[in-house]
Structures are given as structure tokens and as C-alpha cells.
């Protein structure tokens, strides 16, 4: 794998993440380029919305202490 050979020593965690996700990534490539752009855009928007809705990162918790 050329990616691992090129980047493995400098960024081993990234290479592991990439290789672990490869089975899920390959089917994504079967989609037309325009469809992939929409999927990526939608994922980015969902990510932003999730952060805006829950900036603390703790679902269902309150920053205020109970009385």
C-alpha cells in the first residue's frame, strides 16, 4: 500500500485509521462524483449543526447545578 509506505512512519495513527475505514470507504467511490459532493456537503452541515445544538459535547446535561 503506497499510502502506508509514504506516510506510515510519520503518521501511523492516520494510516491505521485510513486502513481500518477502507472497507466502508470503497463503496462510497461507486457513487457519481456529484453525488459524493452532496454526501460530503451534507455530512459537513450535519457536523456543524450537531456542534451548534450541543456545544458542550454532553448530550442531555445542563451547565447549571440543580438546586
56 close to 63: Cβ distance less than 8 angstroms:
yes
How many CA within 13 A on the CB side of residue 21? 9
15 close to 8: Cβ distance less than 8 angstroms:
yes
16 close to 3: Cβ distance less than 8 angstroms:
no
Convert the pLDDT of each residue in 34-63 to its tens digit: 988 888 888 778 888 788 877 665 655 556
- Mean pLDDT for 14-41 is 88
* Residue 52 pLDDT: 80
Cα(49)–Cα(53) distance, integer angstroms: 6
Residue 40 corresponds to which cell in the numbers above? Answer: 460530503
- Mean pLDDT for 22-29 is 87
What's the pTM value of the predicted model, to 2 decimals? 0.44
Amino acid at each position: 500500500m503506497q499510502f502506508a509506505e509514504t506516510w506510515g512512519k510519520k503518521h501511523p495513527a492516520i494510516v491505521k485509521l485510513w486502513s481500518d475505514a477502507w472497507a466502508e470507504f470503497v463503496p462510497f467511490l461507486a457513487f457519481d462524483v456529484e453525488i459524493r459532493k452532496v454526501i460530503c456537503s451534507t455530512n459537513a452541515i450535519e457536523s456543524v449543526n450537531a456542534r451548534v445544538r450541543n456545544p458542550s459535547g454532553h448530550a442531555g446535561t445542563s451547565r447549571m447545578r440543580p438546586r
